[in-house]
Amino acid sequence: MDAPSLMFEEEFEEIQRVCDKLYSDANGKVVFIVDKNGQPIAAAGELEDLDLTSLATLTAGNIAATGGMASLLEESEFSTQFHEGENTNIHIQIIGQRVILVVIFDQRSSLGLVRLRVRKTSVELTGIFDRLVSKAESPGVKSPLDEITDEDIENLFND
Amino acid sequence: MSFINIASREINCKIVYYGPGLCGKTTNLQYIYGHTNPDAKGKMISLATETDRTLFFDFLPLSLGEIRGFKTRFHLYTVPGQVFYNASRKLILKGVDGVVFVVDSQIDRLEANIESVENLKENLNEQGYDLDRIPYIIQYNKRDLTHLASIEELHELLNHRSVPEFEAVATMGIGVFETLKAIAKLVFLELKKSHR
């Protein structure tokens, strides 16, 4: 399934609220959502000094590589990944085949708790992203790019 | 595929540098990274082998300024050029908005260039894209070396679509930003057209 191409304020707020809640419920360090192309969508937690852009890209690359392995093994996808470090662990979950939910956690939490909370959150996020994608595809939606002229684009490159 | 976040007023696009092994894809990104204002760029990531050959991809996030109150962010990727890394190349093309094909201008690399364009065409098709329609720029790199094919010959062999093309010496930065600006502009124009 395609990643969303447009994000609206209403859904963005909802997604952000879900991230904030998961961060607190799972006792995580950081929670973030990235699309399968590596674009970060929302994040919560200890974000200072965190290179979210790089983490998001590497997460998407990781999911793409694992997806390639899955198709060689005739699996549709490997929807969950867990990486265990000495101090920090990463739980990665594909949501509704569209986006990736990442929870970074340390000894303040546990894999069991993170799994449990992620499972519950997945259902909620799937609903929001399904709604978001059909809203973006509905004919009445006005693209923000409508207001951008060819001249604006030229001007961006004129310095 | 571009991602427009109305809430945070951001437009995000993905550009992939493609081409045969050792043609200068990573060098293009390294030059851009080294010559961009620190506020406009993120960290450059290179997933490379111990001998500095690209294993999976290089990645450089770049901001190109604002357009009608929207921040424009470009994610630049390279693919591994070596023939046997084709599975990785396919993955990196997912969601691409524009492609730069970096040509190795040396005569003895002509065949490798042609093979790589064919491979690009096939891999794009597999992802549901068409090389004849996607925003596309060709860069003739390594113009400072000897034993070079002429631009006319390279154009004839590699630029059937007559897309914008640039001569470059990526190690010295010649043609690097011209190429980047040209592909970014094409991506925006296409984006505007497709959202109409």
Domains defined for chain A, CATH in brackets:
9-156 (3.30.450.30)
Nearest Cα to Cα of residue B2 among B146, B189, B160: B189
Give the domain range for residue B27. Answer: 3-194
pLDDT value for A147:
80
Helix (H, G, I), strand (E, B) or coil at A67: helix
Gyration radius from chain A CA atoms: 17
Contact criterion met (CB below 8 Å) for A103 and A122: no
Interchain proximity A144–B64, CB inside 8 Å: no
| pLDDT-flagged residues of chain A (< 50) | none
pLDDT average, residue stretch B178-192 = 93
First vs last Cα of chain A: how many Å apart? 39
Distance from CA of B39 to the nearest CA of A (A): 14
Interchain proximity B95–A143, CB inside 8 Å: no
pLDDT value for A159:
58
Locate A58 and state its tokens.
């590497």
**Cβ neighbourhood burial of B57 (10 Å; 0-12, 13-18, 19+):** buried
pLDDT at residue B178 tops 70? yes
Closest CB to B7 among A9, A57, A143:
A9
Show Cβ contacts of residue A59 under 8 Å, excluding neighbours closer than 6 positions. Answer: A34, A38, A92, A100, A102
> Angle A103-A14-B69 (CA atoms, 0-180°, nearest 5)?
100
Helix (H, G, I), strand (E, B) or coil at B71: strand
Interchain proximity B88–A146, CB inside 8 Å: no
Distance from CA of A69 to the nearest CA of B (A): 10
**Cβ neighbourhood burial of B102 (10 Å; 0-12, 13-18, 19+):** buried
Candidates B2, B6, B76, partner chain A, best to mutate (most A CBs within 10 A): B6
Distance from CA of B182 to the nearest CA of A (A): 9
CATH of the domain at B104: 3.40.50.300
Interchain proximity B192–A145, CB inside 8 Å: yes
Question: How confident is the model over B135-164, as pLDDT tens digits?
Answer: 999 999 999 999 999 999 999 999 999 999
pLDDT value for B50:
86
CA-nearest residue to A149 within chain B is: B192
When divided into structural domains, chain B yields a total of 1
Which stretch of A101-105, A106-110, B39-43, B101-105 has the lowest confidence by average pLDDT? B39-43
pLDDT at residue B73 tops 90? yes
Give CA–CA dist A9/A12, Å, rounded.
Answer: 5
Show Cβ contacts of residue A45 under 8 Å, excluding neighbours closer than 6 positions. Answer: A23, A28, A29, A30, A31, A104
Show Cβ contacts of residue B81 under 8 Å, excluding neighbours closer than 6 positions. Answer: B19, B20, B21, B22, B23, B25, B54, B116
pLDDT at residue B196 tops 90? no
Of B154 and B193, the one with more pLDDT: B154
Q: Which residue shows structure tokens 């265990």?
A: A84
Contact criterion met (CB below 8 Å) for A66 and A130: no
